[in-house]
Amino acid sequence: MNALAQPGRPWSREQFEAQLRQKGKSYHIHHPFNVMLNTGKASREQIQGWVANRYCYQLAIPIKDASILSNCPDRDVRRGWIQRILDHDGYGGDPGGIEAWVRLGLAVGLSREEMKDQRHVIPGVRFAVDAYVNFCRRQPWQEAVCSSLTELFASAIHSERLATWPENYPWIEADGLQYFRNRTTQSRRDVEQGLTLTLDHFDTSELQQRALDILQFKLDVLWQMNDAMALRYKVPL
Ligand SMILES: O=C(O)c1cc(C(=O)O)c2c(n1)C(=O)C(=O)c1cc(C(=O)O)[nH]c1-2
């Protein structure tokens, strides 16, 4: 148990949030594969491999969000959460995040077809993504909400890409990076919502510990995706 915690006594909201944020130490921003991507050391093939594999995660996000909606009896929560599906699938004139990701693929030299048929997706990536979706299907909706909280750290990783890719990879068309621009704001809004629900629900010391374990599970999902890609695209671990 963490040094701050006393048996039976929950952390205050501030302490609990700080514990969740501390988990950022094991975010995939620190994974060697991501460090390679964001320090300009990736080859064209490695970047293409990452984009093609991550497509599988992008497809899964609105599906797991639909699972959360289907498990959640609280209309107010559903009214907020449904925005995530609209963000990724798009609505009206907005083609949405999945299409923005396909455009990133086109900008790095992949064809629409080879992204959509997922021929490059590695088993380890698929298994990790499936584990996330299945967790969100089967667990109580509050636990599934909590598992989205890796987004606490996502805005930084998107900003890092926007700050380094144009200079390091000038061959990637700038328009292709629009997905990252959209997410820097969308993920902040998502975090506000997911964090409030998590701080409200996980209000005993046992539940708070459970929330930290759930967040660790999701960090492991992302880490495993990077491990699998590092193995396939020959990045030393
Ligand atoms: O590029 C990334 O490193 C990254 C990480 C994460 C994350 O931390 O789960 C998400 C995203 N991107 C992302 O774009 C996104 O839409 C998203 C939704 C979620 C979620 O769990 O609901 N995570 C993430």
pLDDT tens per residue, range 5-29: 556 899 999 999 999 999 999 999 9
Q: Whose CA is nearest to atom 12 of ligand 1?
A: 154
Neighbours of 104 (CB within 10 A): 24
Of ligand 1's listed atoms, the one at least distance from the Cα of 148 is 21
DSSP annotation of 172 reads S
The pLDDT assigned to 8 comes to: 87
**pLDDT tens-digit map of 20-60:** 999 999 999 999 999 999 999 999 999 999 999 999 999 99
Whether the full predicted model's pTM is greater than 0.90, yes or no, is yes
Q: What is the pLDDT of residues 79-96, one digit of tens each?
A: 999 999 999 999 999 999
pLDDT value, residue 210: 98
Rounded to the nearest 10 degrees, the angle between the axes of helix 178-201 and helix 96-107 is 140
Q: How far does residue 151's CA lie from ligand 1's centre (Å)?
A: 6
Q: Which atom of ligand 1 is found nearest the CA of 180? A: 14
* Strand-pair partners of 91: 94
Pocket lining: 34 vs ligand 1, CB cutoff 6 Å: no
What is the pLDDT, as a whole number, of residue 236?
A: 87
Is any ligand 1 atom within 6 A of the Cβ of residue 152?
no
Euclidean distance between CA atoms 154 and 218, whole angstroms: 13
Ligand 1 and 133: CB distance under 6 A: no
Residue 9: what are its φ and ψ, rounded to 5°?
-115, 115
Percent of the chain at pLDDT exceeding 90: 96
DSSP SS3 for 16: helix
Question: What is the distance between the alpha carbons of residues 195 and 199, in angstroms, rounded to a whole number?
Answer: 6
Please state, in angstroms and rounded to a whole number, the distance separating the CA atoms of residues 123 and 232. 10
Residue 224's H or E segment, with its range, is helix 205-232
Pocket lining: 36 vs ligand 1, CB cutoff 6 Å: no
What interface predicted TM-score (ipTM) does this complex get?
Answer: 0.98
pLDDT band (50, 70, 90) for residue 144? very high
Domains plus CATH for the chain? Answer: 43-233 (1.20.910.10)
pLDDT, the chain, mean = 96
Mutate to test the pocket of ligand 1, among 158, 187, 192, 221 (most ligand atoms within 8 A of CB): 187
What atom in ligand 1 is closest to the CA of residue 150?
Answer: 8
Alpha carbons 159 and 171: distance in angstroms, whole number:
19
Distance between CA atoms of 54 and 128, rounded to whole angstroms? 11
Whether residue 67 has its Cβ less than 6 Å from ligand 1: no
236 Cβ contact partners less than 8 Å away, ≥ 6 residues apart:
32, 230
